[in-house]
Amino acid sequence: MAKKSLADLASAFASKTSGEGGNQTWKLFFNFWKAPVDSVSTVRFLPDADEENPMGFLVENLAHELTINGKREKVPCLKMYNEDCPICTLSQKYYDEKSPEHNEALGKKYYRKKSYIGEVLVVDTPIEHDQEQLVKLIEFGPKIFKQIQASFSSGDLEEAPFELKGGYNFRIKKSKSGEYADYGTSSFSPKQSDVADDIIEMMNLYDLKEYRTAKVSRDVLEAMLLADQTGGSFSGGDKEEAPSKPEAPSAKPAPKPAKDEGNGAEPEDTPAAPPATGEKKLSVVEQLRQRAAAAAAANGE
């Protein structure tokens, strides 16, 4: 066996994590939202490593927020993976004014949040960040995305903004609207610019779709939702495990949103209520309980 140097061992051990869960993906992201109010962070969007990405430099991320084992967790919206989503079904049911379970606050709580993920070079920012990590991921909500959309429709851009030569820097302007952060005046720089050749040679691009909220099976997502609805426990992983089932608590109002945009994820527009039918159906929670019980019985055989 070849003898490993101390440098090799140090590198190998440095790549391991001792923290809970060991997921260090968050370190890859540029936390623009930590900037002070009335400041500007300038970034340069880069092309997605996936050349088939129709948007070129951004991917859409759809997620829900659930309280699982006492912690607020982000879970995937399965519609992002072209599958029916049980959490969307529950949200629609709560929004439906004709449903006996109508509760707009809970409909809003369970409605999916939309954000966008890209990758950038940080050109200038008041935020301290890892200078050694040249390319950073970035996630933001619909407000910044709408500013980007407006730039494409305005006719002001002569090239795709993520082009390495002749592209445009993007200025993330943080202001305040009431008690919340606002990024509605963010925009591309008016002048085109080039990324330096030596920087291009050092860049490693990300496949952006790999950084969306990770997919789980429908059964696992239903078990997570049941744990949130009932306060039961949930053991994570791909293996299906039914959470314990205490009596369902009474409906509570949705929690207040955070005072900052954070990663920028925002709920989409309120969905239309589903069409009424004459057939009486079990509540979504009861359906989830029956599925969990059936899965547990199947695993016990």
Amino acid code (one letter) for 13:
F
pLDDT of residue 131: 86
Helix (H, G, I), strand (E, B) or coil at 136: strand
Q: Are 63 and 113 in contact (CB under 8 A)?
A: yes
117: buried, middle or exposed (CB in 10 Å: 19+, 13-18, 0-12)? buried
Strand partners, 113: 63, 267
- CA–CA distance, 262 with 156 (Å, rounded to integer): 29
To the question of pTM greater than 0.85 for the whole model, the response is no
User: Taking Cα atoms as reference points, which of 193, 169, 142, 186 lies closest to residue 39?
Assistant: 186
Query: How many angstroms from the chain centroid is the CA of residue 25?
Result: 12
pLDDT of residue 124: 96
pLDDT of residue 23: 52
Q: Give 10-residue mean pLDDT values along the chain (301 residues).
A: 43 40 73 96 97 95 95 95 96 93 94 96 94 94 94 91 96 94 96 96 95 95 94 69 34 37 54 47 53 62 52
In the DSSP assignment, the letter for residue 54 is: T
- CA–CA distance, 16 with 95 (Å, rounded to integer): 45
Amino acid code (one letter) for 140:
F
pLDDT of residue 286: 56
**Strands of the chain, DSSP E:** 39-45, 59-68, 71-76, 113-124, 135-140, 165-167, 169-177, 180-182, 187-188, 193-194, 266-267
Give the gyration radius of the chain's Cα atoms.
Answer: 23
Neighbours of 145 (CB within 10 A): 18
Q: What is the dihedral of CA 240, 244, 250, 251, to 10 degrees?
A: -20
